[in-house]
Every structure is written in C-alpha cells, then in structure tokens.
Structure 1
Amino acid sequence: MPLDDSGSRLRWGVTLPLPGLPLGAHRFVVEALPGLGYGDVWTAEGGGTDAFTPLAATAAWSDSLRIATGIVPVHTRGPAVLAQTAATLAQLAPGRVLLGLGASVPAHVTDINGIPFDEPYKRTRDVLRFVTRALRGEYVAGDFDTFSIAGYRLPEPPAAPVKVILGALRPGMLRLGFTEGDGAITNLLFPQDVPKVLAAVGPQPPGKELVVKVFVCPTEDRVYARRAARPFLAWILNREPYRKFHEWLGHGELLRDSHERWAAGDREGAQRALPDEVVDALFVSGSPEECRERILSYHLPGVTTVQLYVSATREILASPAALLDTLARLGPGA
C-alpha cells in the first residue's frame, strides 16, 4: 500500500451509502471493508441522506473503521448541535470520529432549507472555532462574527479527541483548515491540480489531514459513464464555489462554454459543453484496475487519505459478491 511523505500508509475510505443500495442493506459492505484494506467510511450531506445516520450504523456494525463526515454544512445546524452530534458519535466510536465541516453551496443551504447563505467563510471559521473548543470540554460564551453564544459546555466531552477538518477549495479555507483545524478535504480537481492545493496549504504539521475525494464509475462502458456523470458535473461545476475553484486552478477557459450556457438557462447545453476530458478526469471510469491507477495519481506527498465516491452500476449491484469484488479491485488491497 502506498506511503505518504512521513512513511505513514495512505488511508482509503468509501462514501456510504452507495447509490442504489438502501442504507439498511449496507452491513455486509461495512463488515467487509477492513478486510479489503479500507479504513474509513465517509458521508456527505446535500439533498439526500443525512451525514450522521450512516455513521451511527457503521459504528454499530464495525469496531475498527473510522467514521467521517465530508462534509456537513455549517449553516444548517447550530454550532452546539454539531458539537453534540460529534460527541455522541464519539461514544459509539471512541477515537474514530472525524467531523468534516464546510460552507457547502447555496443550493443545499438556501434553496432546500430556507437558510441564508451568508458570509460562508466567516460562518465556517466561527463554527470551527466553537466546535473545536466545545469538543475539548471548554465553556464557550461570547460573540462570534456570525452568531452569539450565551454559554455552553458539553456535559460529556469525548475522552478521545475528535478531529475537525474543513471542506476547502481555495487558499483561504485550505489555510484555515490547517491552522485552526485538523486539516482539509478537497474534491473535483484534476490530479495535476494537487500540487497547487498543497502549495496553498504550506508545511503540514504532524497529524493534520489532507483528504482528496475522488468520484469513480467503475465501468468500461465509457459512453454510459459519461452520460451518468454529466448532469452532476454540470450542476456542481456551475455552483459559484466550484466555478471560482476551477478559475483559481486555471481551468476557466476549459469550462467557459458550460458556464455561459448554464447562465443562459440552457442546462442541457451546459452538460453537452463539458469537454470529455473534464468528465473523464473528474469522474474516473474504466475497469476497476484502470480506475485504481488513476485514483493513485492523486496520491502525492502530503495527501493522507483518498475518499472514494463509487457510482454503483447495475453490474456492481447485481450481487453482494460483485460489489465486494469491485471494491476489492479498486482499493488498497488490490
């Protein structure tokens, strides 16, 4: 298994629940993951499954996997509720909880929750500061830039530390994650973009995390994979945070046609305007072995964890054996 620059092994994680498989049917997957070399189960939260319920189920089904959110929006839950939830999970999985927080996008905050997407950087910074102090058992009170706390202390702070990292796309949030948190998680970038992210992070103190989330559609039917990926990629790449992210990375011209069509209300045209090279790079496809080789291209010194989002094809979901075989061929034990 690959090593990072400190000699530590690269961690591998899988995002659950897998699309097309009900959460209650995931126990066999969770129980198999350690034997396949995976160390983490990750969740995300947007308009579907919440971030915490799958982690509670994972903690009940496994006594070894780390459970991690990647990410929970900072606007949609109060700071104390976030601290309480992380501390409660830590009772189920002591020393194995990683809380990933982030600004998310207005579509997940305002459009479906009716909450203003105000000052995302400051809100993320303030929630990070509150949650890290609360999880250490400190009494927290006073005014933050985006909220005020009359006074709060966790009745039972975690005995083992809970890491708190930030979803981060550009230098300000990346540096915040590493200076005031335990690191950052980034996604939807090309392998050749990783050095720019690492340069923005700067020297990484021991114990900090840089997680790269990689989207994977393990099928050799490239036409199917591109057709499945385009709606999601057109939607997410035309959200302002990701548009600015790719402009910073230097891909503005590559995506300009898609951006212009999206702004004009032509959603189908925005999908078609995404170059095949973008779709193939940001949503990896091919045989599991081909996908694994491309996943490993993200592993540069400083990257501590690869988080896989696996788009489960019909063939993969045909049987438990097929699903586990694909995860085995994709992952660290291959």
Structure 2
Amino acid sequence: MTALSDPPPRWGLTIPLPGLTLDRHRSLVERLPDLGYTDVWTAEGGGTDAFTPLAAAAAWSPSLRIGTGIVPVHTRGPAVLTQTAATLAQLAPGRVLFGLGSSVPAHVADINGIPFDEPFKRTRDVLRFVTRALRGEHVSGDFDTFSIAGYQLPHPPVEPVKVILGALRPGMLRLGFTEGDGAITNLLFPEDVPTVLDAVGPQPPGKELVVKVFVCPTEDTGYARRATRPFLAWILNREPYRKFHEWLGHGELLRESHELWAAGDPEGAQRALPDEVVDGLFVSGSPEQCRERILRYHRPGVTTVQLYVSLPPEVLADRARLLDTLARLGPAAR
C-alpha cells in the first residue's frame, strides 16, 4: 500500500478493450471518471494503433489523462513521434504521458520489416530528440542510431508533455528517470515491484512509475487460464521479457517453457507455464478478488496502475455488466 506521504496512485484503463471495437467505447470512456479511473492508455503491437484511441478519448472525456504504453521507437521517425505528441497535447493540454520503448522484434522486424537494431541506444536517442524538440529546441546532428539535418517543432506544447520509457531492467529504468519523466513496467508479480523500485532509486518529484497489470475478471479459473496462457507463453518467450524475469529471479520457474519454445514447440511451452505464473501475471477471479490483488501493486513510488482488462464475451456483449464489472474492479469500489 502507499505511504501516508504519497498520494494514492492513479488508475488507468487500456483501450480498446480486447474484443470491443473502438467505435463502441464512447459511452464507456465518458463514464470512467465516475468510476474513479483517471487515465486511459493504449499499447501498440499488431492491432490498434496507439494514437487514434487517445484522440477519441480526449474528445469523449476531457478530464482524463491519456498515455501511450508504449509506442515503439523503431517504427516511426523521431520528428513524427514529436509531432504526434504535440498534437495530442493540443487536445489534452497537461494531460499527456508519451510512453516510448523498444518493444520486441516481433512488433518491429517481423511485421514491419524494420531491423530491430540497438534497442537501448535507439530508445535513448529518440528520448533525447523528443524531449528537446517538445521544448521547442532546434535539434540537429548525429545521434548514435540516426542523424537529423535539423528540426524544430513550430508550435511546442504550452503545457509540458511527460515522456516516459517502457522499462524492464535497470539500464532502461534509470534512463527513464534520469533523462525522461519516468517509466512504465509490466508483466511482473506484486512481489517484484520493490526490485524495480530499488533499481530506480530515489524518485524526484513529478516523475512517474506506471505499473501495467493484466486482469481477467472471471471466477471461471479454467476459462481465465485458457484465455490468457497463449499470450503469456508468447510474450514471456520474447527475449526482453525472458531477460526481465531472469533478472527478477524467475528463470528456473520459466525454464521448461523457455526450452520448449526454443525447441520449436509453442504448444508445449504453453502447457509448461506453471499455473502460479498464469494466475500471478494475469490476475483473475471476481472483480473484488481482482481488485484486492491489484492493490498489492500499490507501493510507495508507484504513481499509476494501468489495467489491461480482458473480459469474457458475455460481459463484453452486455453494456450494463461491462460497466458494473469495471466499477467493482476499479478505484471507486467500496
């Protein structure tokens, strides 16, 4: 739980919800502040882009913060990223968190045909470019991973945009806090949060540590495991997440799954994931049980909990049940 001196964490919801198209989100986003949610977030891989949902959300509910968690640094040029952040800031002044990150090769090279080269350096260079350009500076010259002839944003945001990094291990975490406005981390157990906080070190005021928590609110444990195990096996066998969990001390717990994946047996890798991993990294149970487990991620220094909520089809199909589930899951629940 948070210390008395710390404000309570903000609660964000990732949109669009899996299985619900963006055009069906307006009434949901309009209600989020009443349910205690303070933010909407997006992610970008092989489906919805990161920016269109945030532009829509800014129009639908003008009090919410909007955040990308995250946008890959390889798939857009640094000036385009800057322009996009600045445009979002016109729609939501002072309420934009611009999350950048290296992503994974599957989202960069495999589906976009862009080499996944030097991810740490590329992230660092884009961070440096974007933060300078958003301040209205003229940026030019050679970075380690690209060269810029010269760029200056014509209309820098009047109110600052917070630029944070998707970060899994100490190097990227420290980069986010020393040269950016913080970091967002995900796919970890509540017991791992202190390890992340120790790697971050003392946090200056105003910096953000966002923890993304995956949630499947259903009491049907079998359904929850069937629905979430394929994703977890896929993501935990991406190199960045494999190294992340090895750093956290979970290498032995995941060893069999890693070996089967490397041997070309993805179905075996899924089966080899222990139930404790599936249940721990993708929270399930009644909304009240899920909320209790989400609260375990609340530690001093965590500023925002971002929820990725995967709902059963029958809940998605019923607007009243959907809103009730999010209300019982969220920060305004009693």
**Normalising by the residue count of structure 2, what TM-score does the alignment of the two structures yield?**
0.99
> Quick one: distance in 1 between partners of 2:143 and 2:212?
31
Matched, 1:208 2:207: yes
Query: Partners of 1:317 and 1:201 in 2: how far apart?
Result: 38
Partner amino acid for 2:144?
Answer: D
Query: Match of 1:151?
Result: 150
Alignment of 1:117-128 (within 5 A): 117-128=116-127
1:30 counterpart letter in structure 2: V
Cα distance, 1:309 vs structure 2: 0.2
Cα distance in 1 for residues equivalent to 2:91 and 2:294? 31
Aligned-partner residue type, residue 172 of structure 1: G
Q: Give a deviation string over 1:112-169, Cα, whole Å, max 9, x none.
A: 0000000000000000000000001111011100001101000001000000000000
1:34 aligns with 2:8: no
The equivalent of 1:49 in structure 2 is 48
**What SS class does the counterpart of residue 124 from structure 2 fall into?**
helix
2:279 maps to 280
CA displacement at 1:316 relative to structure 2: 1.7
- Give the residue type in structure 2 aligned to 1:76: T
**Structure 2: distance between partners of 1:222 and 1:283:** 11
Per the alignment, residue 13 of structure 2 pairs with 14
The residue identity in structure 2 corresponding to 1:330 is: L
Give the conservation status (yes or no) of the 8 Å contact 1:226–1:280: yes
Change (3 A) 1:78 1:268: same
**Pairing of 1:164-243 with structure 2 (within 5 A):** 164-243=163-242
Mapped partners of 1:7, 1:183: distance in 2 = 16
The 4+ residue runs of structure 1 with deviation greater than 2 A are 2-7
Contact (CA 8 Å) 2:122, 2:145: kept in 1 or not? Answer: yes
Instruction: Kindly provide the amino acid, as one letter, of the partner of residue 18 in structure 2.
Output: P
**Relative to structure 1, is the Cα distance of residues 259 and 296 closer, same or farther in structure 2, using a 3 angstrom cutoff?**
same
Match of 1:80 in 2: 79
Aligned residue number for residue 308 of structure 2: 309
Quote the offset at 1:22 in angstroms: 1.0
Deviations 1:164-200, CA, capped at 9 Å, x for gaps: 0000000000000000000000000011111100000
Map of 1:71 onto structure 2: 70
Q: Mind listing any 5+ residue stretches in structure 2 that lack a counterpart?
A: none
**Partner SS, residue 70 of structure 1:** strand
Which residue does 1:251 correspond to in 2? 250
**Aligned match of 1:322:** 321
The aligned residue for residue 291 of structure 2 is 292
Q: What displacement does 1:5 show?
A: 5.7
Distance 2:97 2:158 in 1: 14
The residue that corresponds to 1:114 in the other structure is 113
Report the 3-state secondary structure (helix = DSSP H, G, I; strand = E; otherwise coil) of the residue aligned with 1:315.
helix
Secondary structure at 1:212 match in 2: strand
CA distance in 2, matches of 1:49, 1:5: 39
- 2 CA distance for matches of 1:148 and 1:4? 45
Per-residue CA distance 1:253-281 (angstroms, 9 max, x = gap):
00000000000000100000000000000
Q: 2-side partners of 1:273 and 1:209: how far apart?
A: 35
CA contact (8 A) 2:6 2:300 kept: no
Residue matched to 1:60: 59
Q: For the Cα contact (< 8 Å) 2:95–2:161, is it kept in 1? A: yes
Structure 1 residue matching 2:199: 3-state secondary structure: helix
Residue-pair matches, total: 333
Which amino acid in 2 is paired with 1:101?
L
Secondary structure of the equivalent of 1:83?
helix
Checking the alignment, whether the CA contact within 8 Å between 1:121 and 1:173 is kept in structure 2 is: yes
Distance 2:304 2:314 in 1: 27
